[in-house]
Amino acid sequence: MKRDFLDISDYSSEEIQDLLDLAIRLKKEYFEKGNPPLFKGKVLAMIFQKPSLRTRISFDMAMRHLGGDALYISPNEIGLGKRESIADVARVLSGYVQAIMARVFDHEHVVELARWASVPVINGLSDYSHPCQAMADALTIIERFGNRKGINVTFVGDGNNVAVSLSQVCAKLGWNFTFAGPEGYDMPPKAVALLHEIARQTGSAIRFLRDPHQAVRGAQVIYTDTWTSMGQEEEAARREQVFPPYQVNAQLVSEADPEVIVMHCLPAHRGQELTDEVADGPHSVIFPQAHNRLHAQKAILARLFDVA
């Protein structure tokens, strides 16, 4: 049966670890030996309902490096669910390409695509989750702290798609996850319930706090993201009133573990959720983290194509 990559929670801890091991191997090969033609004859369709730099280019390059190809489909082009039903788009594309990656507003749309496509479907970000980002994040954390349990990861800010997937990858890998954000901007209850369920199996400690200072104490990773995600633009002014106490600045970073790394999925709104000083400072790993999208996604694609 074909497999999709819609959410971290769909994969077991062992499968997540396997994907990360493969990403590490493919990254090493890329820098030391060049690229094996694993994806020869494979084409990835990339449907975007929202803008993208990292997701678009890293998926495109992942396909090209390994001998395959990628097609960019812009928001206006196919009118997913408008010009044509999602079920019909999925079934038509399945005859042309070997996998589909989609960035959508409504998470249900990527689920619906996967339901009807006979080829693997990858969630390239939805309003609910961003699992490809979380795989690159985990790879970045492992590169810094090694492959071990008990790493303390703190997400400061909005309980958004990036927070949901990050929390799940942490729990799957036995890392402790703390969330700190303002009231009214918590992770969706469904994601919180799922997170506790995963953590029960792996022994991760999960905390939801309001105080960012308490949340970063002992943190080896501080993670933040935009206060206003794509699709929430009309809430931006209100969010800019609520979120400033959650800015990741030099003071907050100084309250964490001395070895702390600061992460951000990007794009960053410098001066809002993250100061320039921190983004460009010694604790920041935001660019290696962005580059790891390439390697993590090669591993996801290779497993879905069943070629590695």
Annotated catalytic residues are: 103, 130, 133, 225, 265, 293
Cα→Cα distances 285→143, 164, 258, Å: 11, 20, 15
109 to 138: interface string for ligand NVA, x by CB under 6 A = ----------------x-------------
**CB 47, min distance to ligand CP, A:** 13
Task: Check binding of 230 to ligand NVA (CB under 6 A).
Answer: yes
**CB 59, min distance to ligand NVA, A:** 13
Task: Check binding of 226 to ligand NVA (CB under 6 A).
Answer: yes
Bridge partners of residue 221, in order along the sequence: 153, 261
Task: Check binding of 225 to ligand NVA (CB under 6 A).
Answer: yes
Task: Check binding of 62 to ligand NVA (CB under 6 A).
Answer: no
Coil, strand or helix at 275 = coil
Structure-token pair, residue 199:
């953590």
**CB 174, min distance to ligand NVA, A:** 25
CB nearer to ligand NVA: give 13 or 52.
52
**Residues 216 and 222: beta-carbon distance below 8 Å:** yes
**Residues 143 and 291: beta-carbon distance below 8 Å:** no
What is the distance between the alpha carbons of residues 43 and 71, in angstroms, rounded to a whole number? Answer: 7
Amino acid at 236: A
Instruction: Judge if the upstream peptide bond of residue 51 is cis by omega within 30 degrees of 0.
Output: no
Amino acid at 261: I
Bridge partners of residue 84, in order along the sequence: 80
Footprint of ligand NVA on residues 135-164 (CB under 6 A)?
Answer: 160-162
Helix (H) or strand (E) run with residue 208 in it: strand 206-209
What is the distance between the alpha carbons of residues 190 and 245, in angstroms, rounded to a whole number? Answer: 26
CB nearer to ligand NVA: give 213 or 269.
269
What is the distance between the alpha carbons of residues 153 and 216, in angstroms, rounded to a whole number? Answer: 8
Residue 53 binds: one of ligand NVA, ligand CP, none (C-beta under 5 to 8 A by kind)? ligand CP
CB nearer to ligand NVA: give 58 or 226.
226
Binding site for ligand CP (CB under 6 A): 52-55, 125, 133, 265-267
Residue 225 binds: one of ligand CP, ligand NVA, none (C-beta under 5 to 8 A by kind)? ligand NVA
Residue ranges that bind ligand NVA, judged by CB under 6 A = 125, 160-162, 225-226, 229-230, 265
